[in-house]
Structure formats: C-alpha cells, structure tokens
Amino acid sequence: MRMISRVRRMTKEEMRDKAVQLMMVKRFHCSQAVLSVGQEKLGMNDGEVIKAMGAFGGGLGGNGEVCGAIVGALAVLGLRFSRASEDEKEDPKMWSYAHEILERFQKEIVKNHGSILCGEIARVNWKDREQVRCFYKGETVLECVRIVGDTAVLVGELLERATQPKMVMLPVADE
C-alpha cells in the first residue's frame, strides 16, 4: 500500500513562488507546475507523473478546454486520496476536497473570466502558432501565471487541512 507519511513544511507561499518559477523559467505547462509543487508538498517526486501532465497544458492537449492549473490541482488530490492498485482503498474525502477546489477555483481564482476554459481565460487559440507567440510576448501570460500561483496556494491550503487531526469536542461534566 502506498502511504504518504506527512505533508512537507513547504508553505503555501513557497508553493506559489515555485509554481510560478516552474512555469516562467523552466517552461512547465500550468498543469505540470501545479502538480509538481503538490507532489513536493506531499513528499513525492515522480517525474513520470509530471511528464504525463504535459498533455493537459493549453486546455487539454492545446484545445482551449479546461484550464491545466485546475487539472493539476485535481491530480494532486488524486495522489493524496486515491489509489494505485485494487488492494488499496480510496479515501472518500477526495470528493469533498475536489468539489471545494473546483468551486473555489471558479469563484475566487478565475471569477473575472466567467469560465474555467483555458481558451477563454488566455484568449488564445493554441493551434494558431502566431497567436501562441503573441500570448507569450504579451500581458495575458501574466494572468495565467497568477492563476497557476493562486491555484498552488489553494492546493497547499487543502493539503494542510487534510493532514490536521480532527478536533473533537467532548462535553464537560458539571462539578
């Protein structure tokens, strides 16, 4: 059984900074940047998983569909709560965290775009090389970088909450 012992002490802000660096300097796709810092927070390092996330950049294979940042975030939740084999048990908390992360992504991170679709957020047709070139030279790329950073912070927050022990309130007997 695959176990994740504890969440690394990487802060949410460090996650943001590293995700932004991975995207801007190392040229990771948004999905890869969010997944990479999520893996690090979980104490994991699987380059094959990061490589697999590359095809989700540009909105599911460069088709302008669902933003890769939220796909990377959901993949991190899968790493934390799902299973890799039939003899493992999936943690049902994955679904409540997935619902929360998607809702907050929509209401907080991309609220000004009215959509979670990459093409509408980035305002680029990824199949048009000239539009892609203009995107990377223009201002819109900075909005995508902000979205990646904010999504990394959200992932960090949820992972931290998932590892906190539950507080149980016990009634106090009257003396």
Residue 163 pLDDT level (bands cut at 50, 70, 90): confident
Domain ranges across the chain: 12-160
Cut 0.85: pTM above it: yes
CB 96 within 8 A of CB 64: no
Burial 49-72 (b: 16+ CB within 10 A, else e): bbeebeebbbbbebebbbbbbbbb
The confidence score (pLDDT) of residue 174 equals 64
pLDDT digit string (tens) for 41-85? 999 999 999 999 999 999 999 999 999 999 999 999 999 999 999
The confidence score (pLDDT) of residue 142 equals 95
Task: With a cut of 80, say whether residue 128 has pLDDT above it.
Answer: yes
